[in-house]
Amino acid sequence: MRRDNSKETLLAVDIGNTNISCGLYLDGEMAWFGRLFTSTQRTADEYFGLLSPLLERLTGMEISHIVFASVVPELTRIWQQLFKKYIPVPVTQINALSKLGLGFHVADPSFIGADLIANAFGAWKKYKTNCIIIDLGTATKIQLVSETGQFEGAVIAPGLKTSAEQLTSKAAQLSQIEIAAPSALLGTNTKDAMLSGIVQGHAFMLEAFIRKVKEQYCAGKNVVTVITGGISELLVPLMPSVDILDKSLTLDGLHLAFQQLSRK
């Protein structure tokens, strides 16, 4: 890998159940983004074999630090081996025990997923108000962080693609379909009927949760709804309650968390 000491770069890595997202931050801005498919069967060497060609395309960037979060324990160890062997720079792992200034309603928040922490911290620091955060991944996660950095709690539901796969696997007459925006609320064929049920149904569920969270936790308060995740652009047109589409929220949260910890 080419190294150029003229520029220092932070590598942020978000290890999820479906994808591993990587971002390089230069002077506080994301300069590069890459995504790998998650597999617990790959070794550290195999993952670096996939990552290295992507990094080789970059010039003038010196990776000086790494920050990462993982919700896949088997891969946490593998990526730590990768960092140690191939990118020997200081590594910071972000989780619910990281001293970021977030508050919790439980004495031991260690059970809270690292992705939820990164999203909560990122939204709190970026938008500086009460934030409802929707993250569309293997699971759909809905959470609320207050303007003071209080992690109010979360909802975890089956993800949109996960639900679609479950439906098609259990119904003999329903075949696999490509997830896309439904053409109408009521489908006139099996494909359109399924797309409406899967996509519109997910949007309706999320709209109801947003409304209830605002009613029960944010009455009279300013609140913004932020959506992120791989298929977030698909649902935004169907969700009038969404204020901000932020595809890089999780990685930005890791970057901001690293900055916060570096100041201590």
Which tokens go with 111?
A: 């059970």
DSSP string, 18-55: SEEEEEEEETTEEEEEEEEE--TT--HHHHHHHHHHHH
Catalytic residue chosen out of the listed positions 14, 115, 135, 246: 115
Distance CA(43)–CA(199), nearest Å, equals 35
Helices 73-86, 44-56: inter-axial angle, 10-degree rounding:
60
Q: Which helix (H) or strand (E) holds 132?
A: strand 130-136
Residue found by looking up tokens 């910071």 in the block: 92
CA distance 173 to 160: 20
Pairing between strand 150-158 and 91-93?
unpaired
Is residue 115 part of the annotated active site? The answer reads: yes
User: Residue 93 region, left (φ>0) first, then alpha (ψ -120 to 50), else beta?
Assistant: beta
Q: Which residues does residue 9 pair with via DSSP β-bridges, in sequence order?
A: 63
Alpha-carbon span 199 to 118, nearest angstrom: 26
The residues carrying an active-site annotation are 115
